[in-house]
Amino acid sequence: AQTVTQSQPEMSVQEAETVTLSCTYDTSENNYYLFWYKQPPSRQMILVIRQEAYKQQNATENRFSVNFQKAAKSFSLKISDSQLGDTAMYFCAFIGGSGTYKYIFGTGTRLKVLA
């Protein structure tokens, strides 16, 4: 069974600093997709970034980037120049490419950006 593990329940970072959130996963599939979702205090979940397993290049979206290590089954999220608006719960998610239709989520990391 596929699993997603986020080992950091809570983290904090100073405004303008860089922080890295960890995510590891377990799967026997070779083709799959990984996501980071953000849930601010308003509860609305929004997509931060997406990585396709067959692409070696790490995905980047403005201040957000990932370090995708396929062999290690690791998918960390780096937030550069942290802003107060980045304060949120962050979820790592996985979906296999074999048509299972099920997105598997980690338990989340609560990030607080300090002024």
Partner 1 sequence: NAGVTQTPKFRVLKTGQSMTLLCAQDMNHEYMYWYRQDPGMGLRLIHYSVGEGTTAKGEVPDGYNVSRLKKQNFLLGLESAAPSQTSVYFCASSRLAVTGELFFGEGSRLTVL
Q: Which residues bind partner 1 (CB under 8 A)?
A: 4, 6, 9, 33, 35, 37, 42-47, 50, 52, 91, 93, 95-97, 99, 101-108
Q: In terms of CB distance, is 31 or 69 closer to partner 1?
A: 31
Work out how close the CB of 63 gets to partner 1 at its nearest, in angstroms, rounded to a whole number: 19
Q: In terms of CB distance, is 41 or 115 closer to partner 1?
A: 41
Q: In terms of CB distance, is 3 or 14 closer to partner 1?
A: 3
Work out how close the CB of 43 gets to partner 1 at its nearest, in angstroms, rounded to a whole number: 5
> 7, 13, 5: which is closest to 88 by C-alpha?
13
